[in-house]
Amino acid sequence: MKKWIIAEAVMVVAIILLGWMIKIQITPVAQAEEIHPNSFELLVETEDGLVPYSQVRIVKIEVEQPSFLFSYQQDIQTRIRELEPELADTLISLANCESTLNPQAVGDNGNSHGLYQIFLRWHPDVTREQAQDIDFSTSWTANKIRQGQGNLWTCWDKI
């Protein structure tokens, strides 16, 4: 007796590597085969056909950051140092923690934007474009820090 298990899903793998998202669509098909009364073995469909789950090998994939991104991050750090030299190290650490130095980063279910992940619902005076603008968001964040409001950022205690 064979029982079929069919599942169709879209799996979204969010790699918080520079705020990039990779979508992988999978349609796993597995079959449970009775090997003894009330005992089943799960078979997984692979390129080689149905294979017992116990023989499926999961491989870790290392993803390297493209070299052009390092240059871009260096440019962002240089700009932060030009704009706010006295707070540059703090701002760079904060931006690195919040967005991996990605000015286009979006988080908190679409509510936080930019290098510093400015939560727009709490700061209606800031537009999405301003939050994603390196100059504006750096100056705005530096002013908040000078006002003693560094605790607005979840990464504040980590830097």
Q: Which stretches within the chain are classed as H helix?
A: 67-83, 88-99, 128-131, 134-146
| pLDDT at residue number 28 | 45
pLDDT for the residue 36: 58
The number of distinct structural domains making up the chain is: 2
Q: Are 12 and 47 found together in one domain?
A: yes
Residue 13 lies in a domain: yes
Residue 62 lies in a domain: no
Q: Are residues 92 and 128 in the same domain?
A: yes
Distance in angstroms (rounded) separating the CA atoms of residues 154 and 35? 52
**9 lies in the same domain as 46:** yes
Q: What is the pLDDT of residues 46-92, one digit of tens each?
A: 777 777 777 777 666 666 655 555 678 999 999 999 999 999 999 99
Q: Are residues 47 and 86 in the same domain?
A: no
In a domain, 60, yes or no: no
Residues 148 and 75 in one domain: yes
**Residue ranges, the chain, pLDDT below 50:** 1-30
What pLDDT, on a 0 to 100 scale, did the predictor assign at position 15? 35
pLDDT of residue 13: 32
Dihedral sign, Cα of residue 121, residue 69, residue 155, residue 147 = negative
pLDDT of residue 6: 37
The CA–CA distances, whole Å, from 139 to 42, 72, 153 equal 57, 20, 15
Range of the structural domain that residue 26 is part of: 2-55
As a residue count, the chain comes to: 159
Please tell me whether residues 97 and 137 are part of one structural domain: yes
Residue 88 included in any domain: yes
